[in-house]
Structure 1
Amino acid sequence: MERLPELAGRTVEVVNTLMLEIRPKLMEAAFSGEAGEGENVRHSDNFLSVHDMWMHERYRELMSRHLGSFVYASEEGEPQVVGTEEDPDLCVLVDPLDTSELAVRGLLGYTHVMIYSRALARPIVSVVGDIYHHVRLYVAARHDDGKDWAYAFTADGQSRRLRQRPHKRLSESLLTNFLMKPGERLVPLASQKRLMSALDEPDEHGKSRGRIGVDFGSVSLCHVAAGFTEGVLEFAKGFAIWDLAPGHYILHAAGGAVIDLDGQPVPLDYHLQSLPDIAKAMDRRQQFIAAGNHALAQEVLRHLDIPR
């Protein structure tokens, strides 16, 4: 952790603390079957538990100790200024508990934090925590030399610098998609016949190595950054900002690519200049293709049949 800039190191401390605190609560929910589900007023089609709200409040508390004043933009609340400054530079974007419907079952659970400088109009720190996996943290940070670096940290204290991997063709790649909702996402994905045929194309030995897998929110882009998967595809509904932006910055810092369905790079500037801007950004959804390099992202796009 000593190689991280101070702000990134403090953010990692906060995420580590919250994961340690929430893990036993989630395991109790899993074994007891008492998920603590409540009505989600802000996002009616999303699962919401008491654990989401506890994380939401705890993040605001702990980040205020480190930052003093900032704009707090959490999935579970309206954007608000925290601290004494009327117009602070930093915006803290948080998804307190991603995939909470699975987290309360003891299966999967993630937490996202991105710190955005409104003066620079870009992220400067991003931390994605994996509550149950041995790879605990994915981190990106802007260093003093102005360069963005990405890292992974494991539960036993090991660290890895994340860099661009060698190019793979689509037919030898593992692509992922958030395909858990049958009608909304799985059926449209299964209808992409040209993409499926390209993934299934055999190599010179007659073996089909292309694969489709399921993945979730920002951590799916982190998996690409780490080289665990080759790409993420989201063309049906699009990701909200708290699902895309933290992982987008980490993949960017690792040398990867995120493009829209017109083939253009998705910018790191999410236009978070004012509270109304932030509220508007939190209502948008972004369709995209993320990959370890631009060539693979474009190859995926060429095989997509997208209604225009």
Structure 2
Amino acid sequence: MLEIRPKLIEAAFSGKAGESENLRHSDNFLSVHDMWMHERYRELMSHHLDSFVYASEEGEPQVIGKDNDPDLCVLVDPLDTSELAVRGLLGYTHVLVYSRALARPIVSVVGDIYHHVRLYVAARHDDGEDRAYAFTADGQCRTLAQHTSKRLSEALLTNFLMRPGERLLPLSHQERLMRALDQPDNTGKSRGRIGVDFGSVSLCHVAAGFTEGVLEFAKGFAIWDLAPGHYILHAAGGTVIDLDGNPIPLDYSLQSLADIAKAMDRRQMFIAAGSSELAEEVLRHLDLPR
């Protein structure tokens, strides 16, 4: 992030975003900065891991190193919200290391390029426990764990609502959910809120207790947008369920290159929350097509 931040700030002030055609995801913004980070991550990971499958949003899965069938899969979203990052507004970067032998993540890092809370991290410790942490720009480390559970009428719920027709309009039609958020408390104040958030960092914000939940029902998140934050929220004691109310497992079925390629083309709808009670309350107020 120290390397990319000055490049992004220069792009913002100069107005030169370095946009290029996205051949892999035609409806997504792509810049030279996305591709630079894609290559840079692959280079840096090869210094630390002998062999791994490199699965980046910006390329097809490939094996790096001498082992033809390595255990570790490194899942990367080099630059999330890149359209905003080149404007100097918001930018995130995700790395998740998945053990194919364990069929689960073992390390996840979500970086916030501009915010004082710089890194959200989860890792599987030697005792087999998953733990989550946040690191700030001044070197402070905080352990992430869920505290008191809030009801929907008290919650700040977020959604990636930036695309008007694809996401904002479907959200605006959820009248029962909006009424539940707007329900006044015993003092007559309406404390529920709906806000915008982005990709994996939105689940990290729930893990940290900054927000109470994330809702994604219109299109679904790709694996690189969901999995890193999913693992961090899991390690912090939160929950992620699908729209049938079932917990989404940490096993993303990445057993072969074909499995990984298939997983990268799949989208997952979900509700993430600090507690299963809140996730289920959100689900009860959703009007979904059957």
TM-score, normalised relative to structure 1: 0.94
Structure 1 residue 116 and structure 2 residue 98: aligned? Answer: yes
Equivalence for 1:228? 210
Equivalence for 2:229? 247
Query: How far apart in 2 are the matches of 1:293 and 1:268?
Result: 17
Residue type of the alignment partner of 1:291: A
Q: CA deviation at 1:165?
A: 1.9
Q: Percent identity?
A: 86
Q: CA deviation at 1:138?
A: 0.1
Q: Of 60, 66, 72, which residue of structure 2 is paired with 1:90?
A: 72
Q: CA deviation at 1:57?
A: 0.2
Q: Of 239, 248, 251, which residue of structure 2 is paired with 1:269?
A: 251
Equivalence for 1:12? none
Residues 127-146 of structure 1: pairs in structure 2 closer than 5 A: 127-146=109-128
C-alpha distance after superposition, 1:268-298 (max 9, x if no partner)? 0000000000000000000000000100000
Structure with the larger helix share: 1
Q: Of 161, 175, 178, which residue of structure 1 is paired with 2:160?
A: 178
Equivalence for 2:241? 259
Residues 1-308 of structure 1: pairs in structure 2 closer than 5 A: 19-308=1-290
Q: CA deviation at 1:305?
A: 0.2
Q: CA deviation at 1:47?
A: 0.1
Query: How far apart in 1 are the matches of 2:95 and 2:231?
Result: 11
DSSP-derived class of the 2:249 partner: coil
Query: How far apart in 2 are the matches of 1:115 and 1:54?
Result: 20
Query: How far apart in 1 are the matches of 2:70 and 2:212?
Result: 38
Task: Indicate the RMSD between aligned Cα atoms, in angstroms.
Answer: 0.3
C-alpha distance after superposition, 1:144-193 (max 9, x if no partner)? 00000000000000010000121100000000000000000000000000
How many residues of Structure 1 are paired with residues of Structure 2 in the alignment?
290
Query: How far apart in 2 are the matches of 1:165 and 1:77?
Result: 39
Query: How far apart in 2 are the matches of 1:48 and 1:100?
Result: 7
Q: CA deviation at 1:68?
A: 1.5
Residue type of the alignment partner of 1:81: V
Q: CA deviation at 1:27?
A: 0.3
DSSP-derived class of the 2:29 partner: coil
Q: CA deviation at 1:62?
A: 0.2
DSSP-derived class of the 1:88 partner: coil
